């Protein structure tokens, strides 16, 4: 609902403070009371909001928001001794709320910008994928080169998560032998990966 605008004929019969106070006390339509109070006090309300740090355009927007908000429940003006003061106070409260919301959003998005800059990319780049695939091929061929017993120990430990004691029991070899196979297989695989990197 747009703000009421003064026409030349309305200017001649524009409401004054006494008529607004009389309307607030009498049994008249609450929407008329709101419209006349806004028309009479519009400049004062805008000025009150502007004093809170908002530019005139933003202050007008806040007064418009106030009008829309109160037009849903215009009876709040009924019985007010000074509808203009009430509207100015309500508008400055909206202005303060708008500043708080803007400051909160600014902090929120500034903090989010810092977080986003530090987040790693979810998808690796094409060069990283190629490098990973090459390293996996080298690792597979290095594992394939291991002697059968050493390969079995390595696969049970690294791929299936068996502990050294479990491997010892499963393959019927000593724990020291399991450790030796693991150490030699890891050294072999690391050497092959380093050779591929050079």
pLDDT (tens digit, 9 = 90+) per residue, 51-93? Answer: 888 788 888 998 998 898 888 888 887 878 888 889 999 999 9
> Residue 171: CA atoms inside 13 Å, Cβ hemisphere, count?
25
Calpha distance 33→41 (Å, rounded): 12
Q: What is the pLDDT of residue 189?
A: 86
Do residues 113 and 37 both lie within one domain?
Answer: yes
**Domain assignment present for 106:** yes
Report how many domains make up the chain: 2
**Same-domain pairing of 12 and 38:** yes
Residue 2 in any domain: the answer is: no
| 48 and 84 part of one domain | yes
Domain limit, last residue, from 118, 148, 163: 118
Spatial CB neighbours of 70, under 8 Å, sequence gap ≥ 6:
34, 76, 77, 87, 90
Residues 102 and 187 in one domain: no
Residue 65 within a domain: yes
**Which tokens in the block code for residue 111?**
């903090």
Q: Residue 64: which domain range?
A: 8-118
Statement to judge: residues 96 and 152 lie in one domain: no
- Asked whether residue 24 falls in the same domain as residue 72, the answer is yes
CA angle in degrees (0–180, nearest 5) for 181-151-156: 85
> Quick one: 177 and 111 in the same domain?
no
- The domain boundary residue, chosen from 83, 99, 118: 118
What is the model's pLDDT at position 177? 93
- Give the integer Cα–Cα distance in Å for 55 and 58: 5
SS3 state at 169: helix
Apex 61 CA angle, 60 and 64, nearest 5: 85
Token output for 177: 């032998």
**Is there a single domain that holds both residue 18 and residue 105?**
yes
Positions in the chain short of pLDDT 70: 1-28, 110-122, 124, 197-198
The count of other CB atoms within 10 Å of the CB of residue 186 is: 13
| pLDDT for position 179 | 92
143 in the same domain as 97: no
Number of Cβ atoms within 10 Å of the Cβ of 29: 10
Asked if residue 25 and residue 92 are part of one domain, the reply reads yes
Q: Is 1 among the domain residues?
A: no
Among residues 72, 2, 66, 79, the alpha carbon closest in space to that of 31 is found at 72
The whole-model pTM stands at: 0.44
Core vs surface per residue 52-62: b (16+ CB within 10 A) or e: bebeeebbbbb
Same domain (yes/no): 101, 176:
no
> Among 94, 118, 142, where does a domain finish?
118
């Amino acid at each position: 609902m747009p703000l009421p605008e003064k026409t030349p004929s309305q200017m001649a019969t524009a409401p004054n403070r006494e008529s607004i106070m009389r309307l607030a006390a009498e049994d008249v339509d609450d929407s008329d009371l709101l419209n006349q109070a806004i028309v009479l006090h519009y400049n004062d309300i805008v000025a009150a909001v502007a004093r809170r740090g908002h530019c005139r355009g933003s202050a007008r927007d806040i007064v418009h928001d106030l009008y829309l908000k109160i037009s849903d429940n215009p009876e709040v003006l009924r019985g007010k001794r000074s509808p203009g003061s009430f509207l100015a106070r309500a508008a400055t409260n909206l202005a303060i709320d708008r500043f708080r919301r803007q400051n909160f959003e600014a902090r929120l998005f500034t903090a989010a910008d810092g977080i986003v800059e530090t987040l790693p990319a979810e998808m690796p780049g094409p060069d990283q994928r190629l490098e990973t695939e090459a390293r996996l091929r080298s690792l597979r061929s290095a594992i394939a080169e291991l002697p059968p017993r050493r390969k079995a120990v390595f696969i049970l430990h690294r791929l299936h998560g068996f502990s050294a004691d479990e491997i010892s029991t499963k393959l019927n070899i000593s724990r020291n032998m399991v450790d030796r196979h693991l150490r030699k297989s890891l050294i072999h695989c690391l050497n092959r990966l380093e050779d591929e990197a050079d």
